[in-house]
Amino acid sequence: MDKVKFIEVPKPVNGRRFAISDIHGCSKTFKALLKSLKLNKEDQLFLIGDLINRGPSSEKVLDTVLKIQRKGIAVYILKGNHEDMVLKANQQGIDKLKKVLAVFKSEKLAQGGRLIETYEKLLSNAYHYIVLDRFYLVHAGFDFSKNTPFEDTHSMMYIKEFKPNKRLLEKKQVVLGHSPKAIEDIVARLKSSNRKIHIDNGCINIKDPYQGNLVCLNLDTKAIIVQPNIED
């Protein structure tokens, strides 16, 4: 199991805080959502895993992230199961990486049989979870049935369901992606005291009448911005 990598991020003095999950290579949709946010250098952007794979332009999503960072805007990336799969395939050799990228339509992430260095560095530096004043951010969740849930990195990227432990969470809620939920369910949880806040609406799943949107959560107001998929 990977050694856990996490960070505590203080609330900005004047800036806003946004969380987006499961972009899955939907570059045009991601850019449209960012345009509506009008980020500035006082803001914080949290990308809750699965930026890549399945969609048409994984490399363009990462290019956009790098561009935002160059502007001096704080971007924090969480490692999802898709980042984990690609990074492990990269370590296992040319054939394995080629196969994984082909399956998920992400061939442009690699060159010469290896992940492009800037992409590899960006994804390798991703966190397993992030601690904020009122939230834990994690891609998939925490397995609170384990003795050390905050060290179980596999569950943080892959777990499907989990029961929150209110004692360990204290007063914090868990913001996560990984398992798509209908917009109505996302909104209902935000209005409740539920300890789990799902923000993945399955942007890539455009054939599902209840999915197909990229959701952004304002972590201070708990308002959401819903950007429909606009990929070709």
Mean confidence (pLDDT) of the chain: 98
Q: What percent of the chain has pLDDT over 90?
A: 98
Residue-level pLDDT at 1: 74
Residue-level pLDDT at 2: 87
Render 208-223 in DSSP notation, one character per residue.
Answer: STT--EEEEEETTT--
Contact indicator for 117, 62 with CB cutoff of 8 Å: no
The arithmetic mean of pLDDT across residues 17-36, rounded, is 99
pTM (whole model) above 0.95: yes
DSSP state of 2: P
Residue-level pLDDT at 60: 99
Give the pLDDT confidence of 102-132 residue by residue, as tens digits. 999 999 999 999 999 999 999 999 999 999 9
> Helix or strand or coil: residue 113?
coil
Q: Is the pLDDT of residue 144 over 80?
A: yes
Strand ranges for the chain from DSSP E:
6-8, 17-20, 44-47, 74-77, 110-111, 114-115, 129-131, 135-138, 173-176, 196-198, 213-218, 224-228
How does 183-193 read in b/e, with b if 16+ C-beta sit within 10 Å?
eeebbebbeee
Residue-level pLDDT at 227: 99
The arithmetic mean of pLDDT across residues 13-29, rounded, is 98
Contact indicator for 7, 76 with CB cutoff of 8 Å: yes
The arithmetic mean of pLDDT across residues 152-177, rounded, is 98
Contact indicator for 87, 122 with CB cutoff of 8 Å: no
Q: Is the pLDDT of residue 5 over 80?
A: yes
The arithmetic mean of pLDDT across residues 61-78, rounded, is 98
The arithmetic mean of pLDDT across residues 73-77, rounded, is 99
Residue 47 has which token pair? 């990308």
Give the pLDDT confidence of 202-216 residue by residue, as tens digits. 999 999 999 999 999
Domains in the chain (CATH in brackets) are: 6-228 (3.60.21.10)
